[in-house]
Structure 1
Amino acid sequence: MSSAGLALWWEAARPRTLPAALAPVAVGSGLAAHEGRFQPAAALLCLGFAALVQVGTNYVNDYADHRRGADTAERVGPRRAVAAGLISPGAMRRAAFLTFALAFATGLGLVAWGGPWLLVIGVASILSGAAYTSGPYPLAYHGLGDLFVFLFFGLVAVGGTAFVQTGAWAWPALWAGVPVGLLAANILVVNNYRDVETDAKAGKRTLVVRWGRGAARVQFAVSAGVAFAVPVGFWLAGHGPAVLLPLALAPVAFGHGRRLTRATEPEELIALLGATGRLLAGFGILFAAGLAL
């Protein structure tokens, strides 16, 4: 494959969304390090699995949204490869299947650490990613996309990463997954905020379509507020002051809320989408470091 072809597939993978895979693995690994159980090989496998599920979900989204008429010439934002005629629907469908197959193979490597229950969680994650915009009841078309992201890129990903390395499920891992899931869902809020008109025409009933942009702004702000309150809760529960490191990014999150409120052009929301992803990555790294110290 030529470099131009690779660049096209990388663009279709939507790298701006990859912090949703990095952050939960970092936080789960930070919890494991706090317990003295950090295992680099297991953490890398978790990261590979999460990234492959994210990319596979994005490929399915590119294919399915085109088939359902959500990606039209009226849509604003980054181009979609299938809708733009750059990748055929069949090729995108095969790429999604291959990516999920690689995710499954990666997940098999984690069974040695986590046992058969981890296989169940991995399969559920893959099936949910595939069902995000495809199948008889696509989650994103029924306002369930935010919940999917919160659960699988928050609670499940953080808890699963910690479990693989520590060998135990624990409430702190689930609590640590809350801010990661909320900030990951905020990436989706910005995306759907931008696409609200075309989504409504295509029958894609996202929460922004159902509740309106005003409610989406409230959701965005409340999610960020709760996310930044969680490290304080860990500190009050006995963790050292380093766990408060993510609070350094609180002004950035506040600025994002202002930008969402004031945005009038698609280009502003495209820039905010990338900034929201970077905030998630920064929060995840700082929270992980604070938990580990």
Structure 2
Amino acid sequence: MDTTDQSKVRQALNEKDGFQVWWRLLRPHTLTASFVPVFVGTMVALNEDSISMPLFLAMLIASILIQSATNMFNEYYDYVRGLDSEESVGIGGTIVRDGIKPKTVLNLALVFYAISLILGIYICIESSWWIAVVGLVCMLFGYLYTGGPLPISTTPFGELMSGFFMGTVIIGISYFIQTGTVTNNVILISIPIAILIGSIMLSNNIRDLDGDKKGGRKTLAILVGRKNAVGVLALFFIVTFLLTLIYILLDILPAWSAITFIAIPLALKVVKNFVGKTEPLEMMPAMKATGKTNTIYGLLLGLSLLINSLL
């Protein structure tokens, strides 16, 4: 790819130099998958007792660091395996377009992991050392998502694993460190969030389907085909909002949680923006809107729980 073509790609993706290089490396549109579960889990706990703000902040920062490190591992290992090029979209582009050394990206990911470990020790001291076991498993799967001999991201289980660990497990941990227990209700409440986090990964795989297929991956989107994958994504959204309605009717969630339905038009926009699209750049708006759907839904769900706790 010559310099002119590379410049066109950077312009199309609105990529800038300086601090933006490192900001893109974090893939900020995915960080909602780390913030929302901690917020929701903590707000569920707040409805049952008072919460510790230092524990909340430590958990929040550790979760964001682990998510960021996972994104860096993805950037590094996809480059090493030859899956990323200057034309690739949806990546930070820090290595292939900005010229940052791959080793620098890997080392930064390890530093983020080290900081999250320190925060994890504090969380364990204040709650339970069982959190260390669960946290280490989460970090291991964060690495194995793109690292190791058979990266999870290359299999049909990427959506399931990311939704489970980043959704259900993180919500469960956030709730446990505040209350000392895990209830059936908090697990049920975690399911819509887990589905939306899985939808972010599915959107990513729909966009990258052609390149992933050439790279030998066997993602869910590849196995069912682009059209059917968009249908699965639509089903994810339907189940999310249907579960929310059921939970409200069963008093698992407060009536205030109906405000999450504000995110429905954005979910519809995601599906609409994917239909008929085949080029990665064409699908970037849909990919970003998927992250926004998770953000708006999660923030409104947490807000509804906060309002309910104050009444």
With normalisation by structure 2, the TM-score equals 0.88
**What does 1:63-82 correspond to in 2, within 5 Å?**
63-82=76-95
Equivalents in 1 of 2:179, 2:273: separation in Å?
40
Describe the superposition over 1:24-83 as per-residue Cα deviations: whole angstroms up to 9, x where unpaired.
Answer: 111111101111233222111111111011100000000000111111245344552122
Equivalents in 1 of 2:85, 2:162: separation in Å?
25
Cα-Cα RMSD:
1.8
- Cα displacement (A) at 1:262: 3.7
Q: Which residue of 1 aligns with 2:179?
A: 166
Q: Bigger relative contact order, structure 1 or 2, given CA contacts below 8 A and separation 6+?
A: 1
Q: Which residue of 2 aligns with 1:248?
A: 262
> Residue 225 of structure 1: which of 222, 232, 238 is its match?
238
Q: Is 1:120 the counterpart of 2:117 in the alignment?
A: no
Describe the superposition over 1:114-143 as per-residue Cα deviations: whole angstroms up to 9, x where unpaired.
Answer: 301111111011111111111122111122
The answer as to whether partners of 1:74 and 1:198 remain within 8 angstroms in 2 is no
The answer as to whether partners of 1:57 and 1:96 remain within 8 angstroms in 2 is yes
Indicate the SS of the match to 1:134.
Answer: coil
The answer as to whether partners of 2:43 and 2:302 remain within 8 angstroms in 1 is yes
- Cα displacement (A) at 1:15: 0.6
Describe the superposition over 1:63-106 as per-residue Cα deviations: whole angstroms up to 9, x where unpaired.
Answer: 00011111124534455212225211111111111111111111
The answer as to whether partners of 2:27 and 2:91 remain within 8 angstroms in 1 is no
Moved more, 264-273 or 142-151: 264-273
Q: Which residue of 1 aligns with 2:42?
A: 29
Q: Which residue of 1 aligns with 2:210?
A: 197
Q: Which residue of 2 aligns with 1:94?
A: 107
**What does 1:1-293 correspond to in 2, within 5 Å?**
5-84=18-97, 86-238=99-251, 239-292=253-306, 293=308
- Cα displacement (A) at 1:144: 2.2
The answer as to whether partners of 1:175 and 1:230 remain within 8 angstroms in 2 is no
Equivalents in 1 of 2:82, 2:116: separation in Å?
28
The answer as to whether partners of 1:27 and 1:158 remain within 8 angstroms in 2 is yes
Q: Aligned letter for 2:168?
A: L
Q: What 5-or-longer segments of structure 1 have no aligned partner?
A: none
Aligned length: 291
Q: What 5-or-longer segments of structure 2 have no aligned partner?
A: 1-15
Indicate the SS of the match to 1:21.
Answer: helix
Q: Aligned letter for 2:204?
A: N
Moved more, 255-264 or 117-126: 255-264
Equivalents in 1 of 2:276, 2:122: separation in Å?
46
The answer as to whether partners of 1:22 and 1:51 remain within 8 angstroms in 2 is yes
The answer as to whether partners of 2:25 and 2:91 remain within 8 angstroms in 1 is no
Equivalents in 2 of 1:282, 1:70: separation in Å?
32
- Cα displacement (A) at 1:5: 4.8
- Cα displacement (A) at 1:274: 1.6
Q: Aligned letter for 1:268?
A: E
Q: Aligned letter for 2:254?
A: G
The answer as to whether partners of 1:12 and 1:81 remain within 8 angstroms in 2 is yes
The answer as to whether partners of 1:70 and 1:204 remain within 8 angstroms in 2 is no
Equivalents in 1 of 2:59, 2:92: separation in Å?
29
Indicate the SS of the match to 1:274.
Answer: helix
